Chain A
Amino acid sequence: MKIAIPVVSDVKDTAVSDTFGRAAMFMVYDTEADASIYIQNKAALSSGGAGIQAAQTVVDSEVSVLLTPQLGSNAAKVLKAAGIRLYKAQPGLNARENLERFTQGKLDALEQIHEGFHRH
Chain B
Amino acid sequence: MMSDRTIAVLSGKGGTGKTFISVNLACAAAPATYIDCDAEEPNGHLFFQPAIKTQEAVNVPVPRVDPAKCIKCRQCVDFCAYHALAWTGRELLVFDEMCHGCGGCAMLCPVQALRETERAIGRVQTGEAQGVQVLSGFLNPGEATGVPVIKQLLNTKHPGGRAIIDCPPGSSCMVSESIQDADYCVLVAEPTRFGAHNLAMVHELARLYNKPCGVVLNKALPGDDPSRQYCQAHGLPILAEIAFEVQLGKLTSNGMIAVKEDPRYRALFERLLERIDQEACHAAVGHS
Residues of A within 8 A of B (CB): 43, 46, 48-50, 52-53, 55-56, 59, 74, 77-78, 81-83, 118, 120
Contacts and interface: CB of A to CB of B under 8 A. Distances in A.
Task: List 3 A-B pairs, minimum CB-CB distance, nearest first.
Answer: A49-B83, A82-B88, A81-B88
Of B88, B95, B97, B142, the most chain A CB neighbours within 10 A belong to B88
Contacts of B91: 81
B164 to A, nearest CB: 27
Contact of B98 (A52, A55, A59, A81): A52
B88 A48 contact: no
Nearest to A54: B83
B89 A53 contact: no
B86 A52 contact: yes
B83 A82 contact: no
A46 B83 contact: yes
Interface string B73-88: 0000100001110111
Interface in B76-129: 77, 82-84, 86-91, 93, 95, 97-98
Given A43-B83, A46-B83, A118-B144, A52 B95 contact: yes
13 contacts: A48-B83, A48-B144, A49-B98, A50-B83, A52-B83, A52-B86, A56-B87, A59-B89, A74-B95, A81-B91, A82-B89, A82-B90, A118-B97
B86 A78 contact: yes
Contacts of B87: 56, 59
Given A43-B83, A48-B82, A52-B83, A59 B88 contact: yes
A19 to B, nearest CB: 16
A52 B78 CA distance: 12
A92 to B, nearest CB: 31
Contacts of A49: 82-84, 95, 98
Contacts of B83: 43, 46, 48-50, 52-53, 56
A78 B84 CA distance: 11
A118 B86 CA distance: 17
B159 to A, nearest CB: 36
Given A48-B83, A49-B98, A118-B144, A77 B89 contact: no
A86 to B, nearest CB: 14
A56 B144 contact: no
A52 B88 CA distance: 11
A61 to B, nearest CB: 11
Nearest to B144: A48
Contacts of A118: 97, 142, 144
Given A81-B91, A81-B93, A55 B144 contact: no
A9 B142 CA distance: 33
Given A48-B98, A49-B95, A77-B93, A59 B82 contact: no
A96 to B, nearest CB: 28
Contacts of A43: 83
Interface string B253-284: 00000000000000000000000000000000
B86 A56 contact: yes
Contacts of A82: 88-90
Nearest to B92: A81
A41 B89 CA distance: 19
A78 B89 CA distance: 10
A46 B81 CA distance: 9
A118 B95 CA distance: 13
Interface string B47-66: 00000000000000000000
A23 B163 CA distance: 46
